[in-house]
Amino acid sequence: MALQTHRQAVTSSHSRLGAMALLLAGLLLNFGTAGAAAAEQIELRQHTVLAAGHPLTVWEKSPAKPIAQLLLLHGRTWSSRPDFDLSVAGEDLSFMQGLNALGYAVFALDARGYGATPRDASGWLTPNRAATDATIVLHWLKARSPLPLHLFGWSYGAMIGQLVMQRDPGSAASLTLFGYPFDPSRHILAADFAYPSRPPAVANTAANAASDFIVPGSISQAAIDAYVLASLAADPLRVDFKNLHEWAELDAGKINTPTLLLAGEFDPLTPAANLSAVFSTIAHPQRWWVVLPGGDHAALLETPRKTMLRVMDSFIKTVDDR
């Protein structure tokens, strides 16, 4: 009953999205599917990119003849491999593999302290540091290949991606914001907020790993269990952020890059009022806002995954004029 009530409330909060966003998602179920045949299993490669001497891990899965490349930025709690390359026997869940099937070379960055990227000497991560690191990786990718390069961020990664594109709009051809959790009107911690002298580095939990899967039937229990195990193995400790006042720089009016705003229909972190404020303010005229029916904050791992991939493919091809 609690979940049903929550669903009703979320559906009501998204009523302002209007028919256009939901209709667009429906239309794209049958649009942009060329080249979307099941991909062969592609080798996962690990790269190291130095940012001011600090090693950043970048994971890669690329088809033989890619049409473009994408950099994926994970969210607040978990790193790239559980988020973007989940493997479960008999199920098609890897987001990287799904993008490979559409012809994209896919790269995923483990931010400092996440997955295979160590913390730096401070032990902390800040929005500015995360955005600078992501920018360094984008320029590394552009130096390696002339293919069009696109940026995708999930949750906190969407906020980091926005910072990147506000500061360096030429570093990627488009920006996708998925599960965008930032509320432009909320209180931001002051610059002089007193953080602990040492980062807490508390243990992550199985409950946290499973917490985003709230829509019944959208993902199998076997997949949830696999995600929990993979997440805790990759990220046993919670990464510590400080200098959260740096998020105050986020301003959709300074996004001068084609932008795709994606939200799960039942995502409690993306209320319609917040998304409306963001979407209506984006400076670049080429912008899409699409709601993923039946999805929540983890829609890229759930039944809306195929719709999400097709929407992204259609948007990117529009940007690249293919």
Q: What is the DSSP string of 129-179?
A: HHHHHHHHHHHHHHHH--S-EEEEEETHHHHHHHHHHHH-GGG-S-EEEES
Task: Provide Rg for the chain, Cα atoms.
Answer: 18
- What pLDDT, in 10s, does the model give residues 234-269? 999 999 999 999 999 999 999 999 999 999 999 999
pLDDT for residue 21 is more than 60: no
d(CA 305, CA 288): 18
Sign of the alpha-carbon dihedral angle for 112, 257, 148, 98: positive
Count of CA atoms in the C-beta half-sphere (13 A) of 151: 34
Please give the structure tokens belonging to residue 26: 């429906």
Instruction: Give the residue from 190, 314, 300 showing the smallest Cα distance to 260.
Output: 314
- On whether the 20-28+42-320 domain is CATH 3.40.50.11900, my answer is no
d(CA 264, CA 286): 21
What torsion, rounded to 10 degrees, do the Cα atoms 128, 130, 132, 134 define? -150
**pLDDT for residue 13:** 38
- The DSSP annotation for 207-241 comes to HHHHTT--STTSS-HHHHHHHHHHHHHH-SBPPPB
- What pLDDT, in 10s, does the model give residues 202-227? 999 999 999 999 999 999 999 999 99
Kindly list the domain boundaries of the chain, sorted by start residue.
Answer: 20-28+42-320
Confidence of residue 15 (pLDDT cuts 50, 70, 90): very low
- Helix (H), strand (E) at residue 263: strand 259-264
**pLDDT for residue 187:** 80
Q: Is the pTM of this model over 0.95?
A: no
Query: What is the arithmetic mean of pLDDT over 274-282?
Result: 95
Instruction: Give the residue from 251, 313, 266, 271 showing the smallest Cα distance to 288.
Output: 313
**pLDDT for residue 34:** 38
CB-based contact 76:66 (threshold 8 Å):
no
Residue 22 or 48, more confident? 48
d(CA 163, CA 159): 6
Instruction: Give the residue from 315, 309, 292, 302 showing the smallest Cα distance to 37.
Output: 309
- What pLDDT, in 10s, does the model give residues 137-158? 999 999 999 999 999 999 999 9
Query: What is the arithmetic mean of pLDDT over 8-33?
Result: 40
pLDDT for residue 26 is more than 80: no
Tokens 């209506």 sit on residue: 280
**pLDDT for residue 92:** 95
Confidence of residue 18 (pLDDT cuts 50, 70, 90): very low
Query: What is the arithmetic mean of pLDDT over 64-93?
Result: 97
